[in-house]
Structure 1
Amino acid sequence: MAHTLIARQPILDARLRVFAYEILYREPGSPDRAPRETADAASFSVLVDLFTSVDLERFLGGHRAFFNLTRTALLRLAEHPVGVGRLVVEVLESVPADEEVQTAIRHLRREGLEVALDDFHLGGGHRDLVPLADYIKVDIRALDPGELAEHVQALREAPAWLVAEKVETREEWERCSELGFALFQGYFFARPETTRHHRIPTNRAQVLRLVARLQDPQVGLEELAELVSQDAALSYRLLRLINSAYAPAGEKVGTIQGAAALLGVEGLRAWSTWLALALLDDTPGELRVVTLARARMCAMLAPEVGMAEEQGFLVGLLSTLDALMDTSMDRALAPLPLVGAVREALVHRAGPGGRLLEAAEAHERGDWALLERRGWDPERLAQAYVAATAWAEELKATV
């Protein structure tokens, strides 16, 4: 799977739990420069590579994978099904609903795969495919409120789950939920709500004070361990983390002092910060997984921009602090005594840390063109992203 870039975007249920991931990818050779026949072949080969070269159980965390295919790749998949029980084939709006395509869809479903109609529109050419679909995705930004309600009403009797695409705010999520959508896709879970007052609620203020103390460079290992020990929930989670991911085989770490000795100052500081933020239990769980994977990816890539791995991890770790705290990044960081390079990266996206964040966020949303312009090595990014995401999925239950 050399030089293939992949990312994943969550599809959430009404309780903001991950239901599936849409796989975003770029084929070798870049589809905008390749002949159509090459792109068709590449689309299918990338799918096969994903199921044979990537540990999808770890990468997807046990969830379904939605995957866009061209018409030719769709027909080839029907001849040689892969990903049975895990794959949801997305039929693009550009794929004609001819008899050959319908026959392929029926065969895929008989083989145990599921089918989604992407960017469905009542005025498009996919109405004949509605009875064959398991999911119907509707771009809410392509329709005004009246048209959106009309689409939901028309699809109410369809034997498929309705998926609202490009949901960017909690208000949109709530409106789509009221209309009858069952699943939601977009970055609304990672955005802070707009509020009239910016005062941080008491429980969050307590967490932020703890995070600030953890960041104080004057606090040594012994004092850090004592600070963590004063919070029962934080101590519990840290010990779970240590014993599941760090402790040598056959050994158990039963004290915070033992965890401190194993992690060292920077390790204890970074992980305690993350676990403290994870105590904000009213934030979507997927945001925490995204944050953890981003921190790991930034740490892995940090040497390539001349930054220490510990600082790269911290940059990624705090990059969603505004969403976690429901305020601006400036206000969220104000109490934290961060070193200049970390603060510049988080507030202004400047310096080496800013370059790391730009790369990680671009990869998450599949902005391959930007990554190329910035000179990132595609294969290196793909390896780091897959490894970081799988690692975060493994730790999800712990943190």
Structure 2
Amino acid sequence: MSTGVLITREPVVNQQRAITANRLIVHAPNIATAIQALDAQRQHWPTVHPVFISFGRLVPTAELLAWQLPESALIEIPAPALQYPQIQELIGQLNQAGVPLALSWFQPGAAWPAEVDCRFSLADSNKVASPFGAPGLPLAWGLADVPAFDRAVLQGYTGAAGWFFLKGVTPSKQLAPSHAQIVRLLNLVRNDADITEIETALKQDVSLPYKLLRYINSVGFGLMVEVQSFRHAVTILGRDKLNKWLSLLLVSASKDPAAPAVMQAAIARGRMMEILGAHFFDKAQLDNLFITGAFSLLDVLLGSGIDTVLEQMTLPDAICDALLKGEGAYAALLKLAIASESFMPDQLRTQSEALGLSEQQVSSALLQAVAFADALSFG
């Protein structure tokens, strides 16, 4: 049954562009329906970082008072609603109930109650050059790219919400040597090279075996024993499953201090595709769906054109077609995963309907993907 509710997302980052929270934008006909949709996904709730809950342009209502928020969540109050006395009263009641609050669409002169704690204020930086007077920590929104973020920080913003860090990258035509080494490792695994040869390649960078085993043991498998070595991983997981985790090494290979936000986005895309792909593909292809989503931001992560990276890799045609041409069996799911990153839900709704997926299925996959990506440490 259709609920009419879709959820899209964006990250919240600090001045160093490290993720500090996730922002969920709930697109619903009313607050009560939005709460029901969120409660239906409570078991998948991300818990590593705080979660901002935006109800878009909806005016908050008293249903929020009876709602038990998911762990680490805080509610955004839209600034235009502050003009109504009943909203001022509601804010006070939520504060007394211990509900964490933030202000969205801040404008200078916004009448936030002085006695009520406000954790953050989000402002459209295209309209609010300086966040002076904003209650709580001011966060910029609507930034075009990284230079715009840098300007916002100089103007007094303490961080930002949105995907600005994916824009404005000028890719190189040559793959960095450290990245090329991981590509070689992936090719060895896909071409069924001898385990000894793969181990030798893996040990050429002492950080790679450590990172690989940390990823495998952290989330996703529910293994009864801790994987102690590469050979042990091959025995337990098999080469096909291991290839997925080796791909994480490439996605997390960037040395840029700000790269973790991009890594989280890439892994969340891959996980979302993998979960939804179970409705259309057999298990043998799900890892390839994960890799497709994870590799969709390699140009940003590695500073090299996606064609430059892929031409050096042995990958199935379906992955290459989706990444290079936007075509083939995996392309529709990649487009859907990317659409979930838009503030507005129109494209996500179009892609979901084209695939015959319900709002509940898409929302569940989105939250599971964010929780999965958050649980990985990219330090």
TM-score, scaled relative to structure 1: 0.80
2:339 aligns with 362
1:156 aligns with 132
**Residues 220 and 265, structure 1, Cα contact 8 Å, conserved in 2:** no
Deviation, 1:274, is 1.2
**Residues 173 and 305, structure 2, Cα contact 8 Å, conserved in 1:** no
Deviations, residues 81-127 of structure 1 (Å, cap 9, x unaligned): 532883432223553512221121122223222333322334xxx62
Please give the alpha-carbon distance, in whole angstroms, between the structure 2 residues aligned to 1:238 and 1:161: 37
Whether 1:207 aligns to 2:179 is yes
**Residues 242 and 253, structure 1, Cα contact 8 Å, conserved in 2:** yes
2:20 aligns with 19
> What 5-or-longer segments of structure 1 have no aligned partner?
28-38
**Corresponding letter in the other structure for 1:257:** R
1:92 aligns with 78
Deviation, 1:304, is 4.3
**Residues 42 and 70, structure 2, Cα contact 8 Å, conserved in 1:** no
**Corresponding letter in the other structure for 1:335:** Q
Q: Secondary structure at the match of 2:355?
A: coil
Cα RMSD (Å) of the superposition?
Answer: 3.0
**Corresponding letter in the other structure for 1:188:** F
Q: Secondary structure at the match of 2:314?
A: coil
1:166 aligns with 142
1:47 aligns with 35
Deviations, residues 140-189 of structure 1 (Å, cap 9, x unaligned): 23x3xxxx43xx1xx42444221100223110110000110012011123
Deviations, residues 170-212 of structure 1 (Å, cap 9, x unaligned): 10110000110012011123335337xx3558xx332134214
Structure 1 residues 301 and 85, CA, compared in 2 at 3 Å: closer, same or farther? closer
Whether 1:135 aligns to 2:89 is no
Deviation, 1:280, is 1.8
Whether 1:254 aligns to 2:228 is yes
Please give the alpha-carbon distance, in whole angstroms, between the structure 2 residues aligned to 1:110 and 1:295: 40
Q: Which has the higher contact order (CA 8 A, sep 6+)?
A: 2
**Corresponding letter in the other structure for 1:111:** A
Q: Secondary structure at the match of 1:289?
A: helix
Q: Secondary structure at the match of 2:364?
A: helix
**Residues 84 and 111, structure 1, Cα contact 8 Å, conserved in 2:** no
Whether 1:236 aligns to 2:219 is no
**Residues 84 and 112, structure 1, Cα contact 8 Å, conserved in 2:** no
Q: Secondary structure at the match of 1:23?
A: strand
**Residues 6 and 363, structure 2, Cα contact 8 Å, conserved in 1:** yes
1:63 to 15, 27, 50: 50
**Residues 251 and 294, structure 2, Cα contact 8 Å, conserved in 1:** no
Please give the alpha-carbon distance, in whole angstroms, between the structure 2 residues aligned to 1:84 and 1:50: 9
**Residues 344 and 350, structure 1, Cα contact 8 Å, conserved in 2:** yes
> What 5-or-longer segments of structure 2 have no aligned partner?
none
**Residues 71 and 101, structure 1, Cα contact 8 Å, conserved in 2:** no
Deviation, 1:287, is 1.9
1:112 aligns with 98
Deviation, 1:312, is 1.2
1:297 aligns with 272
Structure 1 residues 225 and 268, CA, compared in 2 at 3 Å: closer, same or farther? farther
Structure 1 residues 351 and 391, CA, compared in 2 at 3 Å: closer, same or farther? same
1:375 to 343, 355, 367: 355
1:74 aligns with 61
Deviation, 1:60, is 4.1
Please give the alpha-carbon distance, in whole angstroms, between the structure 1 residues aligned to 2:119 and 2:361: 36
2:243 aligns with 269
1:309 to 281, 286, 297: 286
Please give the alpha-carbon distance, in whole angstroms, between the structure 2 residues aligned to 1:71 and 1:339: 45
Deviations, residues 262-289 of structure 1 (Å, cap 9, x unaligned): 2212222221121243132314312222
Map residues 168-183 of structure 1 onto 2, 5 A cutoff. 168-183=144-159
Q: Secondary structure at the match of 2:138?
A: strand
Please give the alpha-carbon distance, in whole angstroms, between the structure 2 residues aligned to 1:192 and 1:268: 33
Please give the alpha-carbon distance, in whole angstroms, between the structure 2 residues aligned to 1:182 and 1:370: 35
**Residues 23 and 53, structure 2, Cα contact 8 Å, conserved in 1:** yes
**Corresponding letter in the other structure for 2:244:** A
Structure 1 residues 136 and 310, CA, compared in 2 at 3 Å: closer, same or farther? closer
2:322 aligns with 345
Give the % identical residues: 20
- Count of aligned residue pairs for this structure pair: 366
**Corresponding letter in the other structure for 2:84:** D
Please give the alpha-carbon distance, in whole angstroms, between the structure 1 residues aligned to 2:277 and 2:36: 31
**Residues 11 and 21, structure 2, Cα contact 8 Å, conserved in 1:** yes
Q: Secondary structure at the match of 2:83?
A: coil
Q: Secondary structure at the match of 1:344?
A: helix
Deviations, residues 276-314 of structure 1 (Å, cap 9, x unaligned): 431323143122222222222222333545572232122
TM-score, scaled relative to structure 2: 0.84
